[in-house]
Amino acid sequence: MKNQDTRVWRVVWSLALVQFILLGPTYGTLGYFYSPWMKEFGWSHARVAVTTTAFLFAQAAVSPIVGWLLDRIPAQIVMTVAALAVIAGYLWASTIHSFGPMVAAFALIGGGVSASTYVPAMMVAANWATERRGLALGIVLAGAALGGTVLAPIFEVMLVHYGWRVAMLCLTVPMWLIAIPTILVMVRTRPPTGAGARSVREEAEALGGLELGPALMSMPFWMLVATEFIYNVGYQGFVHHLMTYYIGAGFKAERAALILGLLTLFTTVGAIGLGGFADRRGVRTVLIGSLVGLAAGIAIVLGATSKNFGTLYAAASMIGAGLCVGASATLMPAILAEVLGLRRYGTLWGLVRLIGWIGGGLGPFVTGQIFDRTGAYTLAFEFCAICMLIGACGAAMIRPAEGVVPEPVVTA
């Protein structure tokens, strides 16, 4: 049993390392390209945001396919092929000089990121860590957040001094040298069952939970989908415009990157701390609280334009929002396992992410449009905060589906 527990956490920490290399710096630097592109190509706020929309829509498009594949073939194969797609996307983007191909390149990157990080990593972690799932998922997400904290500011320095094309090339180096070898050596879909050689599909058949048809007909699934959608509209619409917002508020690019580093740093703290707390106090309760807190964190950032206290408001917003988004992103996949079980987790999680990323893809474009029409981010960020409050209401209505026995809450 002790050896099995050790292997569980080795897999969890390996997934966190992959997130650190592949998800943290790719997702965390999307908004960093906006200002250089507007200066070099003359694109508007809304137009540069289309690259992020393409990134997120591609994640949405491939998520159901990835989930379906994860219920049938080994996770390490899916993740490795997808990681190679991310590398190819950045190599291509670094050579581009026009809008259409740039959108296509970021769509390729987004699809690869979806299939190599968040969708498979959360499924694998949920399969391995059955007793402390909230903590395990928090650690995996923390790897991504820490990657944004550590690597995104380094990326910004390279971007400022060497240009965005060289910075893109540098992003791919640790993907080749660290992420792909880690996936191939350490990642497996679920623990061995001891029942002889069985395929991934056969192993899934033996797990508890609803089959795909009944799950899709259940109210808990659609409440989770609605919560994921509105959460992503608000958060993605907020986070990808922060760099541009801070620069417009008078912050230098390097200083803005450091402040944004607080967001990813405290996402790490929130993911691990509140993920573990949810194991003791209930996933749904902590999820509701985190969404309300995220709304408050978004609202606070509007004080960053203050002449005397702008930095204080910006830092407070990043700390509060980071703590809460760490919990939200961790607990969405945890609550899926709780209310629908693990039997078709890969397919169901892929479908949830499809709708979530559609919302996420709309978010940056909507906030960019609001800015272009009003000339300020005030109304745009207020809209994002309201989305979080609506999401909290949706989370409050999620209950285990009929026939699914809730897992016991850890008390020690």
The CA-atom distances, in angstroms, between 138 and each of 47, 125, 275, 330 are 34, 10, 5, 5
Across the strands, what pairs with 30?
none
Question: Is the residue at 296 inside a domain?
Answer: yes
Domain count, the chain: 1
- Asked if pLDDT for residue 28 goes beyond 80, the answer is no
Question: Is the residue at 403 inside a domain?
Answer: no
Which tokens belong to 71? 């219920």
Instruction: Provide the pLDDT confidence category of residue 410 given band limits of 50, 70 and 90.
Output: very low
In one letter, which amino acid is 113? V
Question: Is the residue at 368 inside a domain?
Answer: yes
Instruction: Provide the pLDDT confidence category of residue 405 given band limits of 50, 70 and 90.
Output: low
Which of 158, 327, 157, 316 is closest to 235 using CA atoms? 327
In one letter, which amino acid is 146? L
The residues, any chain, with a CB within 8 Å of residue 214's CB and separated by 6 or more, are 401, 403
- Asked if pLDDT for residue 409 goes beyond 50, the answer is no
Question: Is the residue at 113 inside a domain?
Answer: yes
Question: How far apart are the C-alpha atoms of 152 and 26, rounded to whole Å?
Answer: 8
Question: How far apart are the C-alpha atoms of 240 and 398, rounded to whole Å?
Answer: 29
Q: Is the dihedral of CA 193, 283, 262, 102 positive or negative?
A: positive
- DSSP class of residue 33? G
Asked if 275 contacts 283 with a C-beta cutoff of 8 angstroms, the reply is: no
In one letter, which amino acid is 122? M
Burial class (CB in 10 A: 0-12, 13-18, 19+), 258: middle
Question: Is the residue at 2 inside a domain?
Answer: no
As a whole number, mean pLDDT of residues 230-258 equals 87
Question: Is the residue at 407 inside a domain?
Answer: no
Asked if 366 contacts 237 with a C-beta cutoff of 8 angstroms, the reply is: yes
Which of 317, 250, 264, 351 is closest to 30 using CA atoms? 264
- Give CA 237 to chain center in angstroms: 13
Highest mean pLDDT among 194-198, 320-324, 400-404: 320-324
CATH code for position 134: 1.20.1250.20
Encode pLDDT of 71-126 as tens digits: 888 999 999 999 999 999 999 999 999 999 999 999 999 999 989 998 899 889 98
Encode pLDDT of 368-380 as tens digits: 899 989 988 999 9
Question: How far apart are the C-alpha atoms of 138 and 130, rounded to whole Å?
Answer: 14
Question: Is the residue at 118 inside a domain?
Answer: yes
Question: How far apart are the C-alpha atoms of 392 and 300, rounded to whole Å?
Answer: 18
Residue 174, CA atoms < 13 Å, CB-side half-sphere: 16
pLDDT value of position 18: 95
Q: Which domain holds residue 364?
A: 7-191+198-396
pLDDT value of position 194: 58
Across the strands, what pairs with 148?
none
Question: Is the residue at 276 inside a domain?
Answer: yes
Q: For the ranges 167-176, 185-194, 318-327, 361-370, which has the lowest average pLDDT?
A: 185-194
The residues, any chain, with a CB within 8 Å of residue 266's CB and separated by 6 or more, are 318, 319, 320, 321, 322, 323, 326
Which tokens belong to 94? 């670094």
Which tokens belong to 129? 């860590």
- Asked if pLDDT for residue 1 goes beyond 50, the answer is no
Encode pLDDT of 298-339 as tens digits: 999 999 988 888 889 999 999 999 888 877 778 888 888 888
